[in-house]
Amino acid sequence: MVVFFKWYIYPLIIFCAWILLTSSTFSQLDSINYYRQLINLDGYLFTGYYSVHNVNQIVSNDLINKHILIFTAHPDDESMFFAPTITELTKENYNNHFHIVCLSNGGMNGLGHIREKELQRAAKLFGVTSAKTLDYEDNINSMWDTTSVANTISNEVETLKNNYNIDDHLIVLITFDKEGISQHPNHKSLYNGLVEFKKSSAITTYALVSWNMLHKYSGLLITDVQLVMINIAKKLNWDKPSEGNVIIFSDLNTIFLNLSAMSWAHYSQIVWFRWIWILISRYMNANELVKL
């Protein structure tokens, strides 16, 4: 009885602390001057729907009023890894237009036609109206050709520019970093292709940081610690937005959407070990983006 009590009380404390740290109630402890500064900067009215930390990061890095193209390797990547980024940047007041381009249909096990539909289900859940799959081979043992991936990125960017009559400065590209979160060669191929594309383009690009195993499977624990440190720094006036490094935290308004996008939309992928990911992966509650 005592052992069981000790077992569940700590996750409960961590969860309750996370709710406090990400809620508007805690944000109200900010000074009026700090709010005024942000409101003058971006013109948004703050409610519980908009985290002060997230808004500060996003506005200072000019991730507003943009067409954001996120490149993934397989249907479910957007939900397993990028969900906090998508659910935050698609909030209405940021005025972003989100596009998901998935280079393969994840058909290694013969489920490609199902997984294509699942991507569309997840996109609708996120409020993303532009999502497509391409015909790269889903292969856990081989890299995709870097030049081919770079050309694909270039073609998608040109299509976007023509369809919406926009220039490079209104476009932001996001994909995996060089480690690809899970070392999957298809994920790493996207990073290599984006780096190659960047050699001839000035478009703003970000990579999702691959955390180590401790961070990756820390659930809300490291997120809580990081949020405490951020709020302490804010009170001491030590906090300054870091240009080129964006940390996005989900809250109660978005985390259940993150979980649902994986567990409901990508039902063909829900085997026992993915429940472990859904329940304790930090990628379900936070993302760190670094500018390339």
Query: Which pLDDT does position 237 carry in this prediction?
Result: 74
**What pLDDT, on the 0 to 100 scale, is given for residue 10?**
79
What pLDDT, on the 0 to 100 scale, is given for residue 49? Answer: 54
Domains and CATH numbers, the chain: 8-291 (3.40.50)
DSSP character string of 187-236: HHHHHHHHHHHHTT---EEEEE----HHHHT-TTHHHHHHHHHHHHHHHT
pTM over 0.85: yes
Listed in order, strand segments (DSSP E) in the chain are 67-72, 97-104, 130-136, 171-176, 204-208, 245-249, 286-291
Pairing mode, strands 130-136 and 97-104: parallel
DSSP 265: I
| Model pLDDT, residue 11 | 83
Is 168:201 a contact under the CB 8 Å cutoff?
yes
Q: What is the pLDDT of residues 150-165, one digit of tens each?
A: 999 999 999 999 999 9
Query: Tens-digit pLDDT profile for the chain (292 aa)?
Result: 445 556 678 788 888 888 878 875 445 444 444 444 443 444 444 444 567 778 888 888 999 999 999 999 999 999 999 999 999 999 887 889 999 999 999 988 888 999 999 999 999 999 999 999 999 999 999 999 999 999 999 999 999 999 999 999 999 999 999 999 999 999 999 999 999 999 999 999 999 999 999 999 999 999 999 999 888 887 787 766 677 789 999 988 899 999 999 999 998 998 888 899 999 999 999 999 999 9
Per the document, the length of the chain is: 292
* DSSP conformational letter for 263: I
Q: Please give the pLDDT value at position 271.
A: 87
CA–CA distance from 173 to each of 2, 63, 197, 222 (Å)?
51, 11, 11, 27
- Spatial distance between the Cα atoms of 189 and 171, rounded to a whole number of angstroms: 21
| CA 266 distance to own-chain centroid | 17
Predicted confidence at residue 109, as pLDDT, reads 81
